Amino acid sequence: MSEEKQEQPQSNPTPNEEKPLPKEIMLKYDTEPIANLTRAINQKKDAEKEGNESSNTIGNRQISAQQEGNRIARIAIYVNGVLAALTIVALVLSVKAVNEASRAGDLADNSFRQYKRANDLAQQNILLAKESLDSNNRSSAAAFELSRHALGEQIQDFNEKKRQFQLENRPYLQISNMVVDTFNLKPNRFFSVTFWINDFGKQPAIIEDIRMKLEISKVGDYQDTSGTIDLRDLNGTFIPSENHCEGGIYFPRPITREEDISIITRQEHIFVIGQITYVNPISNTTRIYKFDISLYNFPGTEVRAVVNKDIPYVKEKPPHK
């Protein structure tokens, strides 16, 4: 097409030139197809231009997008860098915190170990103190036991001496020299028993009350007061120390043949049962002498004391007047 355009100016002669003879025959042809072709070419060029512009626009857009992406990427890289830096800082701080915590743990562990050692030492000291205290307690207990034993022996010795002193310095009544009237110890007769009331003590006594009874049985019982006879004739009797007074008692009824046989065969005994209340006129104290005496040899004075007690009276009584 460029060649055709270049050739077109050569085909138009200038006005000064002479008109030569036509060498060629001018042909007329339809220019519409050429115009269409030209338009098509132009349209193609325009399309290419627009395509180039569109390509440029798209490229620009791509470039802008790429630049924006690069900017965002840079921002992201910056942000990531900042985050990484913060992460590193946080990691460093965490490491420091861990180290501080580890040091604190070590300090706490050391403190605990020191506390444990101090506690162990305290426990050992407590055990030593306890052992020392136990040893002292054992020693004190042993010393106390020895002292208590010695004191007990002293108390026993004192009580024994006191008893001996009291025995030696008070009246002490006992019945002795009991004799059965064997002449009347026969069926349908009244028999009697005579006796002495001795004061074996170192001080005199005054009989305040005397109650006795005779009993024929296998076993006597001085607590059974049935049939007791009040020997009033002996009440008020003064017995000097180491002296005696005499007394007697009758069986309250005639004995039977069976009782006589049982006494002879010694299947049953004659019991003298009773009690004597007497007063020490010096110390103004009252005592009771209880007895349950079995007579088993006839004739004779040998006796067997089933019960023979001399006990303090329950209350102090004024001296006998």
Per-domain residue ranges of the chain: 31-130, 173-312
Instruction: Identify whether the C-beta of residue 252 lies closer than 8 Å to the C-beta of residue 261.
Output: no
Residue 93 C-alpha from the chain's centroid: 52
Question: DSSP letter at 182?
Answer: G
Instruction: Identify whether the C-beta of residue 227 lies closer than 8 Å to the C-beta of residue 252.
Output: yes
User: Hey, what are 228's tokens?
Assistant: 């007791």
Q: Report the alpha-carbon distance of residue 281 to residue 16 in Å, rounded.
A: 209
Gyration radius from the chain CA atoms? 77
Instruction: Count CA within 13 A, CB hemisphere, residue 62.
Output: 6
- Mean residue pLDDT across the chain: 76
Model pTM? Answer: 0.47
Q: What share of the chain is helix, strand, coil (3-state, %, to 5)?
A: 50, 25, 25
| Band of residue 209 on the pLDDT scale cut at 50, 70, 90 | very high
What is the CATH number assigned to the segment(s) 173-312?
2.60.40
Q: Report the alpha-carbon distance of residue 278 to residue 200 in Å, rounded.
A: 13
Residue 155 C-alpha from the chain's centroid: 40
For residue 161, pLDDT over 70 is answered with: yes
- The pLDDT of residue 278 is 94
- The alpha-helical segments, DSSP class H, found in the chain are 2-10, 32-168, 257-264
| Band of residue 2 on the pLDDT scale cut at 50, 70, 90 | very low
For residue 207, pLDDT over 90 is answered with: yes
The alpha carbon dihedral of 6, 11, 17, 23 has a sign of positive
